[in-house]
Structure 1
Amino acid sequence: MKRTGGRRARVMAVVASVALAGSLASACGEETAGRLQTAGDIAGLPVTHFESGLKPDAPAPDVTARGATSSEEDRLALAAIADVSDYWEQQLPEHFGLRFDPVKALLSYDPSEPEIEVCGATTADAAMNAFYCPPEDLVAWDRGMLLPLLRERFGPMAIVTVLGHEFGHAIQYRLGEKAGVDESTSTIVKEQQADCFTGSYFRWMAEGRSTYFTVSTSEGLNQVLASLFFIRDEAGQSAQERGAHGTAFDRTYAFQLGFEKGATECAGINQENVDARITEQPFDPSDQGGDVSITADTVSLLQESLDLAFSGAGVEAPEIVDDGGECADGTSTPPASYCPADNTVSIDLATLSEIGQPVDREAEFQGAESDGGLGDFAAFAEIASRYVQGIQKGVGASLEGPNAGLRTSCLVGAWAGAISRPGNGNTLLLSPGDLDEAIAELLQPRSLLAADVTGHRVANGFARVESLRLGYFEGSKACTTNYA
């Protein structure tokens, strides 16, 4: 986030009312254990919990790749290619009137081994990468560094995600004008389409139609979202740059679009609709890297921002107090807790300051423990998630259960949307990368952003991320409508 000049923030009033009925359950006087809850469905599919990955009875894939080994990474990659080929063999004739032609070549490489020339470069230049090469109609992947890191960090579905994405580029070139893709199409449009095609493929898999893989709509899709977060662009990159793939916020949007609406919707992604919603933007000179320290002073600015944003609710705003992050009389969710008894948000400023440290991207790519935090907006959003509990209590909304958790994330998204627009005198404004910091927080095991007042969070990251995005783009009214 960044601070603008002037003490007072004039944030748009994003909440006219939160017209929800319900009652606040009695306080338990204990710290929550962060229990998972199930919310509704996932784009019409039931919420499922099981180990995702290659089916035990999956056949040996009838595909070969140059350089492929007997490693688990290559086994998953080849099965993914066979599987996504099955998907498009069905989809292209059914929805686009085209015959599916398999890609001409596959390449598995280790960048530490002798160089192989491919697509005008060498495999040494393509470390930590997977790509589609149009002139050679080739899909290639780094089995030495990238795939092992993905599998270790996020599980087998991360590998399937990456290969599904690269195959999506091969499909773009087969569709041609049916996908609006030619030599002049920007990189960001191509990447958004490929992420969307990946989502449509995973929907097919989640429906049980895959011969090779099974994916749960909770933990399995969480692996996918975590891997998309990992391969996001650096904060401050411009969507207009050649090679731009999008922020995690943008990439998860495209994936979820494909999962919910299918491949034909993905083919309709173009420059106009990408420009209307893309959040990737460069830093401006006032951003100073996009991070502010989490201090008593900046928390005071946060209080002002939230008070103004939710002034339309017509209720007494909670007061944010630094007194340890726990409630003296009620359930606690440290490092930030909403305390209904005295309508305060108790915070542990020292812990939140650690969470607010900048993300260590180098550690992320090395697969090491990060010395950094999740970023300033992740810390502010945790506080905001407890603040909106007080707003919901004030209007009589239920504070417990899955819908309460998703409504909370949605309202935080509505606040983020309000402070994303410069020129209205806001003291706190979003900076590039802030929304990705919110995504990082949402994917944490003990996330508060989509948790109810007791800290119980919705099990599926898909629903959590979607609720934040809904509030960001559509405002608080959508939170009321969708999570009543």
Structure 2
Amino acid sequence: MRSATASHGLTILVAVGVLATGCSSTVTGAPSPANGLRMDVANSDFEIVGSTDSEIDQTARNALADINDYWSQVFPDVYETEFEPLTGGYYSIDPDDFDPDDYPNDIGCLDDDPENVANNAFYCFPQSGGGGDNIVYDRTLLEALAADYGRFLPALVMAHEFGHAVQGREAPPSELSIVYETQADCFAGAWTGWVAEDNAKHFNIRAPELDDVIRGFLLLRDEPGTAAEDDRAHGSYFDRVSAFQEGFDSGAQACRDNYDDERLFTLAGFSSDDDGTGNVSYEEAVVISDRTLETFWESAFDEVGQQSFVAPALVAFDGNAPDCGGEPVERDISFCPNDNTVAFDESDLTQVIAEEIGDFAVTTAISLPYALAARNAVDRSIRGSEAISAAVCATGWFAARFYLGSLADSSTISPGDIDEAVIFLIEYGSRREILPEVGLSGFQLVDVFRQGFINGGADCGIFGS
């Protein structure tokens, strides 16, 4: 986020995937601590050349077996033709312990150099001279992802790469890397939704268990400031998580239809004003939040023909929240209808997230009770899960207007700001002192935010259903 005069801030991360010429790369019964793996079925013997008896290669075998099952069922409905299995095979490689005698002479896109798959996984599109149509992965990368985020994330990497295999069988959606990559994320989400419906033989997972999975996407995003037109762009954190959630919610048909050069992406390069950071000071972030939220809601009320919006006053506190109507408040952010105030705990929340996440996390936090003020202004309930979900959705709506420059304000969104909203919702949103009564995981909260960002406020439930 930046004002008309200044900006300072933070950058995070690494992207583990690249798009090489001819290759696209990245990344039981009841759910159990095995991170999505069913414990009551036999492991698959799916063929992966170079694979070991290790846990991670077995995870990959199970994942690829289920992914092939999914696409053999879904592909004919989506593309009106039978799915043709990959002709080039699947390969597990440890770049630091590579014996060429264990592999064929020509693994598509590897070019006989195991370093080409180090910290990576890729699908190699069919090559003009023959070969390709294969998936290769660095098993040490998958081991690291599994250790930090659970064994479903390596399965998701396989589903993403298989999404590229689907692209290799149909007309390309675009020449832009970011379109290819986010469509593959969408396909991975569609497979995950199928798994969550208890259709897969080896995996089962529920939406509330996906928080760690989408935390892993933070490692796979492009660094803030990367241009969407970059020939290796994969997308911002929001772009990638949003694509995954679209597939999860709407299936492979939506992935086929909704990815082209017209799609809105939040990945963007820094302007000269950003100075490669994009963050303002904490104090300025609060001022900008107050000003832009008032501007947004005044405009929203005008658009639907409601009475004039009376903006709530912002009240900062440290540790002990002010009472509301004589009753104690035990939350770090809250709206009090008695005096039309939005209160936020600086020492325990907003200053912390400004430092840990960034300035737009502060704006996101303040926006949530601010949206409840809007519901209260039209005599709608501000209690319970419906009201809280409406506030999250409306925060996505506000963020989109801010991002698109549709607010009558000189402040603008910086690269990475929408990612900060996602991080805040995942890491803080499901805490009782932040969003009580909502009953949603971080994954589900981000999905509600996404709906508001993509579709606007019509379905958010601020002014009525």
Q: TM-score interval w.r.t. the shorter chain? A: 0.7 to 0.9
Contact 1:305 1:427 (C-alpha < 8 Å) held by counterparts: no
Query: How does the TM-score come out when normalised to structure 2?
Result: 0.81
Q: Which has the higher contact order (CA 8 A, sep 6+)?
A: 1
Instruction: Find out whether 1:171 has 2:171 as its counterpart.
Output: no
- Residue 283 of structure 2 aligns to which amino acid in structure 1? A
* Distance 1:187-1:211 versus aligned 2 partners, 3 A rule: same
Task: After superposition, give the CA deviation of every residue in 1:210-253 in whole Å (9 maximum; x if it has no partner).
Answer: 1111111321x334333333311111111211111111211222
Instruction: Tell me what 1:323 maps to.
Output: 317
Instruction: Tell me what 1:83 maps to.
Output: 66
Q: Distance in 2 between matches of 1:89 and 1:474?
A: 32
Contact 1:89 1:99 (C-alpha < 8 Å) held by counterparts: yes
Instruction: Tell me what 1:375 maps to.
Output: 358
- Residue 316 of structure 1 aligns to which amino acid in structure 2? V
- Residue 466 of structure 1 aligns to which amino acid in structure 2? D
Instruction: Tell me what 2:22 maps to.
Output: none
Query: Which of 246, 254, 270 is equivalent to 1:283?
Result: 270
Task: After superposition, give the CA deviation of every residue in 1:91-126 in whole Å (9 maximum; x if it has no partner).
Answer: 233443124323522222223334868524533343
- Residue 145 of structure 2 aligns to which amino acid in structure 1? L
Instruction: Find out whether 1:138 has 2:134 as its counterpart.
Output: yes
State how 1:326-345 maps to structure 2 within 5 Å: 326-328=321-323, 329-334=327-332, 336-345=333-342
- Residue 193 of structure 2 aligns to which amino acid in structure 1? R
- Residue 342 of structure 1 aligns to which amino acid in structure 2? D
For residue 445 of structure 1, report the CA deviation from its aligned partner: 5.0
Q: Distance in 2 between matches of 1:379 and 1:115?
A: 51
Instruction: Tell me what 1:296 maps to.
Output: 283
Query: Which of 198, 203, 214 is equivalent to 2:193?
Result: 203
- Residue 349 of structure 1 aligns to which amino acid in structure 2? E
Query: How does the TM-score come out when normalised to structure 1?
Result: 0.78
Contact 1:386 1:453 (C-alpha < 8 Å) held by counterparts: no
Which residues of structure 2 form unaligned runs of 5+? 7-29, 101-105, 302-306
Q: Distance in 2 between matches of 1:454 and 1:353?
A: 18
Instruction: Find out whether 1:127 has 2:108 as its counterpart.
Output: no
**Identical amino acids, percent of aligned pairs:** 31
Aligned length: 416
Contact 1:399 1:452 (C-alpha < 8 Å) held by counterparts: no
Instruction: Find out whether 1:478 has 2:465 as its counterpart.
Output: no
Instruction: Tell me what 2:394 maps to.
Output: 411
Instruction: Tell me what 1:158 maps to.
Output: 153
* Distance 1:295-1:270 versus aligned 2 partners, 3 A rule: closer
Q: Distance in 2 between matches of 1:168 and 1:80?
A: 13
Q: Distance in 1 between matches of 2:404 and 2:189?
A: 30
Instruction: Find out whether 1:346 has 2:343 as its counterpart.
Output: yes
* Distance 1:268-1:308 versus aligned 2 partners, 3 A rule: closer
Contact 1:323 1:348 (C-alpha < 8 Å) held by counterparts: yes
Contact 1:327 1:337 (C-alpha < 8 Å) held by counterparts: no
Task: After superposition, give the CA deviation of every residue in 1:419-465 in whole Å (9 maximum; x if it has no partner).
Answer: 223486623211111111111111115547xx898634432344312
- Residue 203 of structure 2 aligns to which amino acid in structure 1? F
Query: Which of 354, 377, 384 is equivalent to 2:367?
Result: 384
Q: Considering only aligned residues, what root-mean-square deviation do their CA atoms show, in Å?
A: 2.8
Task: After superposition, give the CA deviation of every residue in 1:334-364 in whole Å (9 maximum; x if it has no partner).
Answer: 2x3333443322233344223113xxxxxxx
Q: Distance in 1 between matches of 2:377 and 2:463?
A: 19
